[in-house]
Amino acid sequence: MLSQAASRLGFDVVILDPEENSPAGRVSRGQIVAAYDDPTALTVLGRVCDVVTFEFENVPAASAEQLAGGGALVAPGPTALSTAQDRVLEKTFLNAVGATTVDFVAVDTLEDLTAALETLGTPALLKTRRDGYDGKGQVWIKTAKQAAKAFAEIGGRPAILEARADFTRELSIIAARGHDGAVAVYPLGQNHHANGVLATTLAPAQVDAATTARAREIAEAILEGLDYVGVIGVELFDLGGGDLLVNEIAPRVHNTGHWTQDGCLCDQFEQHIRAIAGWPLGPTEAHAQVEMTNLLGDDVDQWPALAAEPNARLHLYGKAEARPGRKMAHVNRVSRLA
């Protein structure tokens, strides 16, 4: 979807992906088939591209650093990527810029976990520090007696223990920052997760002025703190009364921003390309109400019925295998703004 947006703006796109005939490669000018940390492939990519970006945060930060060190313009920069890849570094950064999170403790051993549970109490959420996404690499601990089992479930890896957040709903904000420091912010979305995976986003969310203002303040602080260029997704816990906690950040276009494809004149994908290419940022106002629903695994087989819905816009990802829980597509159901 990023490549398609870039093509519409007149750019040629080259994809680096280890999968031959990848979904992104099939809609791009060319593809380099290699691992994300292949030094030769990275050198070639940096030489043929005026700007390099990434679309998920599990690309090695060292790869971004190699590209930047070789003179390539990488946006967002390596710092944003490395910060988002480590949950302890991420939460430490967020609190430092005034984007408050739940209380947390770094955990390296079972003894650390036992001590952390005494500090934070239960229930608490244990997550691997790195590589977890869509509910993977995390487990709830309801009593201290479950510590050993929980630590074994995440493979005894370096982790973070997070206190439970007493929130009323989950929100998210999609924002962008250009090379010149200009910032554009989309309306908030309200999210529903099932089994740790985003199920739906309703946007624009019904929020008061205080909540909107605080969310924008948080997004701007994060963007400035990382000297960020591009689109970012910020997941939030709404505590009510304009009080928000940051759950996590995503240094990329984000699943909770897919509604913008059919709800805004300039969607998050075009906005990201505009930002990294040095173009003026586009408008972010919503012209429609959108409910975005993820299609996981075999859900994608519903595509004929979904394509027949008059107010639905179906976005298929072109992935070859519909594995259980894998994001295969999404559908945006569009209605008039209230």
pLDDT digits 0-9 by tens, 77-92:
999 999 999 999 999 9
What CATH number is given for 169-335 in this structure?
A: 3.30.470.20
What mean pLDDT value characterizes the chain? 96
Query: For residue 195, what pLDDT is reported?
Result: 86
What CATH number is given for 2-74 in this structure?
A: 3.40.50.20
The Cα-based distances of 188 to 19, 59, 72, 281 in angstroms read 34, 27, 33, 18
The answer on pLDDT for 136 being more than 80 is: no
> Which residues on neighbouring strands pair with residue 315, listed in sequence order?
330
Distance separating alpha carbons of residues 329 and 316, to the nearest angstrom: 4
The answer on pLDDT for 108 being more than 70 is: yes
What is the sign, positive or negative, of the torsion defined by CA atoms of 220, 222, 226, 231?
Answer: negative
Query: For residue 196, what pLDDT is reported?
Result: 84
- pTM for the full predicted model: 0.95
Query: For residue 5, what pLDDT is reported?
Result: 98
Over residues 111-129, the mean pLDDT reads: 96
Are 163 and 117 within 8 A, CB to CB? no
Distance separating alpha carbons of residues 32 and 16, to the nearest angstrom: 5
Query: For residue 58, what pLDDT is reported?
Result: 87
Query: For residue 329, what pLDDT is reported?
Result: 98
Question: Phi then psi for 53, rounded to 5 degrees?
Answer: -135, 175
Query: For residue 338, what pLDDT is reported?
Result: 75
Query: For residue 137, what pLDDT is reported?
Result: 83
**138, HSE (Cβ side, Cα atoms, 13 Å):** 20
Query: For residue 273, what pLDDT is reported?
Result: 98
First to last CA, the chain: 28
The Cα-based distances of 195 to 161, 199, 244 in angstroms read 19, 9, 23
SS3 content of the chain, % helix, strand, coil (to 5): 35, 30, 40
Percentage of residues of the chain with pLDDT beyond 70: 99
Distance separating alpha carbons of residues 172 and 110, to the nearest angstrom: 33
CATH superfamily of 103-163: ATP-grasp fold, A domain (3.30.1490.20)
Over residues 55-65, the mean pLDDT reads: 93
Q: pLDDT for 303-333, tens place per residue?
A: 999 999 999 999 999 999 999 999 999 999 9
Are 295 and 305 within 8 A, CB to CB? no
Q: Where are the domains of the chain?
A: 2-74, 103-163, 169-335
The answer on pLDDT for 27 being more than 90 is: yes
Place of tokens 């494809």: 261
Q: Angle at which helices 78-85 and 61-69 pack, to 10 degrees?
A: 170
The answer on pLDDT for 134 being more than 90 is: no
Place of tokens 């920052």: 177
The answer on pLDDT for 135 being more than 70 is: no
Cite the beta strand spans of 119-218 per DSSP E: 124-128, 138-141, 159-163, 169-177, 183-185, 189-194, 197-203
Query: For residue 132, what pLDDT is reported?
Result: 67
